């Protein structure tokens, strides 16, 4: 067994050509480019027991070699995946089930009928690859750089493959992110949190792709620094999975969820006080603001059940395709992954920031939510119509509360935390609609906003947090 550590990045055909000629690649290139055809057949039971156990089993023809490989799915965030992998060299393109036992076979599959394993789908592609090597902090780094073009094929159809894989042969995974970040300065690279096996399963069942990364878990005593790290990785992973699924499906609900997740990522940089100093996250905040200013009008227009809303929903896949193929997309998400891995928010942090970072989660969370609630100006029956702009000015604060309560309300020790989250979410949605409604609907919307404000102020959680 060995552990496979690699970064997978989606690329266009033009970018694939440019990668080979990139000065950084040519400077570090240690071997000539080699091209080979890879034919891969994936196996599972009719009930897809292996997929349920997060295992991939394949046969690969690589020139004259035939290799049987068993992989665990492992973790994948921002394109970086780490998986356990076992290989057996065979004489013919026929599955050898005799080796699938003991340490090689997951306990969850102990009752699996190996005789029922059958071909499920294939991916066939051309791979150009070479070795890169360089020194990093006095240590040798060796990376296998592969450019893959081909297709995943199933009985339900096929999906093209066009991606860059950077696989670590020697060195730390941080060096992979550093290399990807340097390449993303000049070339559009989209982190790709889906394996070729997962693509095959997704073609067979569009709902099989897991949109949420594994939940890392929270506890009352967890220090704020660990909350910052875990929440950052979770937000990054979730946003990239939603982006991948929307790129594949074009479904409006995935676009809507992606924009909400990007709002959460923007709010993330504003809720941890000096434990995450403003200067530490400013480059990401600026990039996220630009991205959200581009996407929000489409997001809001798409809520309408009229011709304009239909047009917005229809245009979303093309608009997103343009955005994700720009330099800013890869620079933001690859850069954020590197920032999280290096824990850059901890550098040059003031003493007060160190004290906040050491607080237990429960204490920090109560203070963070109370601070936002006490400053929140919700609509009131006595407010005139001219106060609408003041209500709308509360949207950034509502977005911060939406992030905090969406992520952590189970740890917030107040009554009706779920209900508070729901009612504040409704207020946020209503305020977002104020710029979209026409004059004939405006009075009704303002009346609804005032009623929603009253409903919020009556909540036990609202009164407790304002106390």
pLDDT at 74 over 80: no
Q: Average pLDDT, stretch 107-136?
A: 93
In a domain, 225, yes or no: no
Q: What is the pLDDT of residue 240?
A: 94
Domain final position from 210, 238, 260: 210
In a domain, 241, yes or no: no
pLDDT at 66 over 90: yes
CA-to-CA separations, 343 to 141, 347, 403, in angstroms, rounded: 21, 8, 21
Between 112 and 227, name the one with better pLDDT: 227
Domain extent for 390: 360-466
Between 193 and 4, name the one with better pLDDT: 193
pLDDT at 79 over 80: no
- Give me the DSSP letters along 244-269: HHHHHH--HHHHHHHHHHHHHHHHHT
In a domain, 274, yes or no: no
Indicate which CATH number applies to the domain containing 171: 2.40.320.10
Q: What is the pLDDT of residue 169?
A: 94
Six-digit token string for 104: 């090689």
Domain final position from 166, 184, 210: 210
Q: Are strands 34-44 and 118-136 parallel, antiparallel or unpaired?
A: antiparallel
Domain final position from 210, 240, 255: 210
Specify the DSSP class assigned to residue 213: P
In a domain, 398, yes or no: yes
In a domain, 256, yes or no: no
Residues 170-218 have pLDDT tens digits of 998 899 999 999 999 999 999 988 889 999 999 999 889 988 877 667 8
Torsion of CA 277, 279, 281, 285, to 10 degrees: 120
Q: What is the pLDDT of residue 77?
A: 63
Length of the chain: 467
pLDDT at 51 over 60: yes
Q: 390-408: string of b/e by CB count within 10 Å (b at 16+)?
A: ebeebbebbbbbbbbbebb
Residues 258-279 have pLDDT tens digits of 999 999 999 999 999 999 999 9
Q: What percent of the chain has pLDDT over 70?
A: 97
Radius of gyration of the chain measured on its C-alpha atoms: 25
In a domain, 269, yes or no: no
Six-digit token string for 209: 């792709």
pLDDT at 154 over 70: yes
User: Which neighbouring-strand residues pair with 160?
Assistant: 151
In a domain, 443, yes or no: yes
CA-CA distance, 153 to 160, in Å (whole number)? 9
pLDDT at 382 over 80: yes
Maximum C-alpha span of the chain: 82
Confidence of residue 75 (pLDDT cuts 50, 70, 90): low
Domain count, the chain: 2
In a domain, 386, yes or no: yes
What residues have CB less than 8 Å from 27, skipping those under 6 apart? none
Q: What is the pLDDT of residue 225?
A: 97
Comparing C-alpha atoms, which of 157, 229, 161, 154 is closest to residue 192? 161
Torsion of CA 330, 332, 335, 337, to 10 degrees: -90
> Containing H/E element for 287?
helix 278-301
Six-digit token string for 227: 């909350």
Task: Calculate the average pLDDT of the chain.
Answer: 92
């Amino acid at each position: 067994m060995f552990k496979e550590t690699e970064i997978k990045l989606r690329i266009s055909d033009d970018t694939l050509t440019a990668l080979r000629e990139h000065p950084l690649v040519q400077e570090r290139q240690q071997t000539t480019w080699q091209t080979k055809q890879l034919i891969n057949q994936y196996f599972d039971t009719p009930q897809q027991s292996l997929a349920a156990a997060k295992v991939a089993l394949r046969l690969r023809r690589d020139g004259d070699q035939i290799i049987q490989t068993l992989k665990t799915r492992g973790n994948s965030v921002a394109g970086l995946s780490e998986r356990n992998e076992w290989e057996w060299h065979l004489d013919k393109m026929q599955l050898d089930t005799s080796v699938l036992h003991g340490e090689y076979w997951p306990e969850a599959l102990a009752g699996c009928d190996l005789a029922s394993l059958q071909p499920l789908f294939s991916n066939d592609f051309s791979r150009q690859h070479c070795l890169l090597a360089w020194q990093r902090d006095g240590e040798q780094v060796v990376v296998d750089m592969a450019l893959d073009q081909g297709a995943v094929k199933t009985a339900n159809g096929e999906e093209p493959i066009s991606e860059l894989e950077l696989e670590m042969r020697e060195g730390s995974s941080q060096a992979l992110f550093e290399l990807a970040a340097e390449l993303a300065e000049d070339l559009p690279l989209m982190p790709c949190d889906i394996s070729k096996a997962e693509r095959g399963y997704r073609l067979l069942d569009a709902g099989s792709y897991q949109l949420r990364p594994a939940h890392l878990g929270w506890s009352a005593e967890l220090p704020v620094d660990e909350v910052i790290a875990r929440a950052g990785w979770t937000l990054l992973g979730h946003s990239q999975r939603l982006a991948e699924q929307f790129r594949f499906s074009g479904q409006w609900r995935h676009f809507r969820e992606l924009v909400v997740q990007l709002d959460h990522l923007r709010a993330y940089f504003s809720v941890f006080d000096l434990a995450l100093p403003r200067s530490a996250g400013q480059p990401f905040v600026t990039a996220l603001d630009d991205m959200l200013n581009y996407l929000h009008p489409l997001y809001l227009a798409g809520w309408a059940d009229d011709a304009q809303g239909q047009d917005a929903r229809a245009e979303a896949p093309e608009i997103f395709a343009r955005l994700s193929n720009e330099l800013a997309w890869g620079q933001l998400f690859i850069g954020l992954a590197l920032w999280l891995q290096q824990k850059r928010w901890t550098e040059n942090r003031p003493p007060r920031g160190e004290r906040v970072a050491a607080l237990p989660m429960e204490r920090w969370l109560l203070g963070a939510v109370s601070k936002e609630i006490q400053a929140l100006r919700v609509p009131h029956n006595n407010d005139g119509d001219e106060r609408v702009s003041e209500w709308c000015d509360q949207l950034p604060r509502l977005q911060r509360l939406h992030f905090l309560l969406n992520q952590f309300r189970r740890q917030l020790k107040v009554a009706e935390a779920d209900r508070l989250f729901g009612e504040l979410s409704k207020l946020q949605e209503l305020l977002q609609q104020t710029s979209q409604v026409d004059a004939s609907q405006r009075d009704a919307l303002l009346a609804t906003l005032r009623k929603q404000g009253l409903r919020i102020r009556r909540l036990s959680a609202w009164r407790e947090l304002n106390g």
